Amino acid sequence: MKLNTQPNFTDPDAFYAALTAIHRDLDRDQSERVNARLVLLLANHIGDMEALQEALEVASNLNDSA
Amino acid sequence: MQKTYTNPVYDYIHSPDQDAVSPTHHPVVIVGAGPCGLAAGLDFALQGVSTVILDDNNTVSVGSRAICFAKRTLEIMERYGCADRMVDKGITWQLGKVFFQDDLVYEFNLLPESGHKQPAFINLQQYYFEEYLVDRVAEFSDIDLRWKSKVTEVDTNSERTRIKVVTPDGEYEMTCDYLLVADGANSKIRTMLGLESKGQVFQDRFLIADVVMKADFPTERWFWFDPPFHRNQSALLHRQADDVWRIDLQLGWDANPEEEKKEENIRPRLEAMLGKDVEFELEWASVYTFQCRKMDNFIKDRVVFMGDAAHQVSPFGARGANGGIQSVENLAWKLARIVRGEAPPALLETYNSERQHGAEENILNSTRATDFITPKNHISRVFRDETLRLAEHYHFARRLVNSGRLSLPCSYPYSPLNTDESANFNSALCAGSPPKDAPISVDGQPDWLIRHLGNHFTLLVNAESIDPAQLAALQDQKDLQLLLMSQNEVSREMGKLGTILQDAEGLISERYDLQPGRAYLFRPDQIVTARWAQLDSEQVKSAIQKALGFELETAA
């Protein structure tokens, strides 16, 4: 796998808090827009199509409880 | 409505074939005198095969349809001898603007690569494109173009095809070895033979209008997503020849085509788009739905389909006519050699396989553009809109904005006609690639590489440190011309073996990594089919045999 699914955050708790914080005062439509922007920014940062494809597959498997 | 252009009316001429006691036989008959049918006639004439072209009308395209002709098409037109008129009349552009809602999102400059004879693309109304092809066809005595000749019956088997033609003064029959069909997206001959073109109809309608502007307007391509004057839809403004501007307005699926086409309904939309103070006259308007579809096989016995009849795309990316012309070029050299008895019939199947690949590429690209322009559900719309908003400030997002990826020449890296290469070239022009032009000089005169490729196999050699015996050994090879690149004075002996050219700006060396002793073999359609680090005449001969399909037949 090209996609790194091992822990990689420099500060996981801080990231999670920041992610939820930006949504705190937003309605659903605004949140949807923010999430879309976030996906686009991060996808460009990754860039590599193979890694992105793997992420898309993992993300779209909604029944994956693992 | 149309004032800038008057359609020529071509004479119906009675053909001696009509008076023949038994049906006359022709090697190749082409149905449809549109861009692809006319191009096919020219290509066959240049490859020494005479053709009959039949068209049920007696003029060129009524109203403008295709407008954007890409470099590869112009290079093919150069080979046919009619590119200069097209480029002179057409509009060359490279600036564009993308708008989203009330804002200009970004501007672009396509800055084409220099050192090519032809521009990256021109905008030219289809009727001019066709008219210039018709004029060029008239210069060839072995193209018999018959207007007002409608094919009403087709009967084909593995040996030949028989057709019935209806004209203003009666009907007649002909037979041919091959019938080439370029009778458009709604091909009647395809239907007659019970064949289908399968794919996707987009649930959308577009109004296409050509207007004449009274005042100056910049030569730029403007594309609007969700503009204030046309909410939730898209709009495109593009300049053509004669101060005619093409306007595409997305209407949505529920629009009524007959209502939308009326001038009283078009005018307010255009005023909203161009501004109330801009004076314009409406030349022509039509409402379209777009389709992306193709036939599973472009060949049925002795009938071969080309152009929109074979493969059709939505217009975003200008891949319809440009893709069609590339199909014609792919077919003509192959079929000409089959007809001339110089290649096995199996070669024809590679027209289908190579151009299925081309059609898939075009359909993929135009479907992606259509999906960006018309998002298919709520979340796609959110991603589309945020991409556009990010594009205003972040360059990366501009790469995702898709209002059409302009047609680039198709490559055939997996073609069975290619010869595998053994050397490492620092150039992407591997076997299957379309050529890259470069400025050259021949006999001290400035010239272009592209003008020396095509109609035959062409071997481009860096003749420094070449053993003249290798070149001499190729003199008896049929259907091959030699281009010898040399920076130095060449011996008189070598000058007799091929055309001597100089790499005027070093761009051949750069684009082809053509070091001394290296060689490229181009097919008659200018596609690279082999390249070598050291020229070897025997390998060249085998590569030509392979490109002619002789190994296919052995395999079959």
Each residue's pLDDT tens digit, B93-128? 889 999 999 999 999 988 789 999 999 999 999 999
pLDDT at B200: 85
Cα(B411)–Cα(B430) distance, rounded to whole angstroms? Answer: 9
pLDDT band at B357 (very low <50, low <70, confident <90, very high): very high
Task: Say if residues B31 and B54 touch (Cβ distance below 8 Å).
Answer: yes
Task: Say if residues B105 and B64 touch (Cβ distance below 8 Å).
Answer: no
Rg from Cα positions in chain A: 14
Alpha carbon of A12: minimum distance to chain B alpha carbons (Å)? 26
Task: Say if residues B70 and B94 touch (Cβ distance below 8 Å).
Answer: no
Task: Say if residues A40 and B383 touch (Cβ distance below 8 Å).
Answer: yes
Q: Is the pLDDT of residue B555 over 60?
A: no
Sequence-ordered alpha helix ranges (H) in B275-341: 307-310, 320-339
Cα(B234)–Cα(B251) distance, rounded to whole angstroms? Answer: 8
Q: Is the pLDDT of residue B493 over 90?
A: no
pLDDT band at A50 (very low <50, low <70, confident <90, very high): very high
Backbone angles phi, psi at B351, to 5 degrees: -60, -45
Backbone angles phi, psi at B245, to 5 degrees: -115, 135
pLDDT at B347: 97
Contact residues on chain B for A44, CB-CB shorter than 8 A: 396-397
Interchain contact A57–B (C-beta under 8 A):
no
Domain boundaries, chain A: 28-60
| Mean pLDDT for the stretch of residues B482-504 | 86
| Mean pLDDT for the stretch of residues B258-276 | 87
For the entire predicted model, the pTM comes to 0.94
Alpha carbon of B365: minimum distance to chain A alpha carbons (Å)? 17
pLDDT at A66: 52
In the block, which residue shows the tokens 């590599």? A48
Beta strands in B397-456 (DSSP E): 439-442, 445-448
What are the pLDDT digits (tens) for B328-339?
A: 999 999 999 999
Q: Please, what are the domains in chain B?
A: 16-91+119-197+297-367 (3.50.50.60), 439-555 (3.40.30.10)
Q: Among residues 9-48 of chain A, which lie with CB inside 8 Å of chain B?
A: 32-33, 36-37, 39-41, 44
Contact residues on chain A for B383, CB-CB shorter than 8 A: 36, 39-40
Rg from Cα positions in chain B: 25
pLDDT band at A27 (very low <50, low <70, confident <90, very high): very high
Hey, are the CB atoms on A40 and B383 less than 8 Å from each other? yes
Q: B interface mutation test: which of A37, A41, A46, A60 has the most B CBs within 10 A?
A: A37
Task: Say if residues B31 and B5 touch (Cβ distance below 8 Å).
Answer: no
Segment (H or E) for B84: helix B83-89
Q: Is the pLDDT of residue B47 over 70?
A: yes
Question: In this structure, what token pair is assigned to residue B480?
Answer: 């091959």
ipTM above threshold 0.90: yes
Q: Is the pLDDT of residue B40 over 90?
A: yes
* AA identity, residue B383: F
Q: How many CB pairs under 8 A join A and B?
A: 23
Cα(B258)–Cα(B146) distance, rounded to whole angstroms? Answer: 34
What are the pLDDT digits (tens) for B400-456?
A: 999 988 888 999 999 999 999 888 999 999 999 999 999 999 999 999 999 999 999
Contact residues on chain B for A32, CB-CB shorter than 8 A: 379, 382
Hey, are the CB atoms on B390 and A32 less than 8 Å from each other? no
Of the candidates B212, B215, B220, B213, which has an alpha carbon nearest to the alpha carbon of residue B238? B220
pLDDT at B494: 78
pLDDT at A65: 58
Hey, are the CB atoms on A36 and B396 less than 8 Å from each other? no
Percentage of chain B surpassing pLDDT 90? 79
Name the 3-class secondary structure at A34: helix
Q: Is the pLDDT of residue B556 over 60?
A: no
pLDDT band at B360 (very low <50, low <70, confident <90, very high): very high
Q: Which residues of B have a CB under 8 Å from any CB of A?
A: 379, 382-383, 385-387, 389-390, 394, 396-397, 400
Segment (H or E) for B75: helix B71-80
Hey, are the CB atoms on B382 and A36 less than 8 Å from each other? yes
What is the average pLDDT value for chain B, to the nearest integer? 94
Cα(B5)–Cα(B239) distance, rounded to whole angstroms? Answer: 15
Backbone angles phi, psi at B387, to 5 degrees: -60, -45
Task: Say if residues B276 and B100 touch (Cβ distance below 8 Å).
Answer: no
pLDDT at B487: 81
pLDDT band at B488 (very low <50, low <70, confident <90, very high): confident
Cα(A25)–Cα(B467) distance, rounded to whole angstroms? Answer: 78
pLDDT band at B170 (very low <50, low <70, confident <90, very high): very high
Q: How many helices (H) and strands (E) does chain A have?
A: 3, 0
Mean pLDDT: which of B206-210, B373-377, B477-481 is highest?
B477-481
Segment (H or E) for B172: strand B170-181
b/e per residue B392-419 (b: at least 16 CB within 10 A) = eeeeebbebbbbbbbbbbbbbeebbbbb
pLDDT at B473: 95
Alpha carbon of A37: minimum distance to chain B alpha carbons (Å)? 6
| Mean pLDDT for the stretch of residues B242-253 | 91
Q: Is the pLDDT of residue B72 over 90?
A: yes
Backbone angles phi, psi at B90, to 5 degrees: -75, 170
In the block, which residue shows the tokens 């070895």? B177
In the block, which residue shows the tokens 């030699």? B482
- Region of B226 on the Ramachandran plot (φ > 0 left; ψ -120 to 50 alpha; else beta): left
Q: Which residue has the higher pLDDT, B186 or B274?
A: B186
Hey, are the CB atoms on A40 and B389 less than 8 Å from each other? no
Please enumerate in sequence order all residues whose Cβ is within 8 A of that of B37, keeping only pairs 6 or more positions apart, or say none. Answer: B30, B31, B53, B55, B180, B182, B183, B306, B307
Please enumerate in sequence order all residues whose Cβ is within 8 A of that of B521, keeping only pairs 6 or more positions apart, or say none. Answer: B419, B457, B458, B459, B460, B528, B529, B530, B531, B540, B543, B544, B547
Hey, are the CB atoms on B386 and A41 less than 8 Å from each other? no
Alpha carbon of A33: minimum distance to chain B alpha carbons (Å)? 6
pLDDT band at B481 (very low <50, low <70, confident <90, very high): very high
From the list A32, A36, A44, the residue facing B396 with the nearest CB is A44
Cα(B532)–Cα(B541) distance, rounded to whole angstroms? Answer: 13
CA dihedral B364→B365→B367→B370, nearest 10 degrees, is 170
What is the average pLDDT value for chain A, to the nearest integer? 95
| Mean pLDDT for the stretch of residues B2-28 | 95
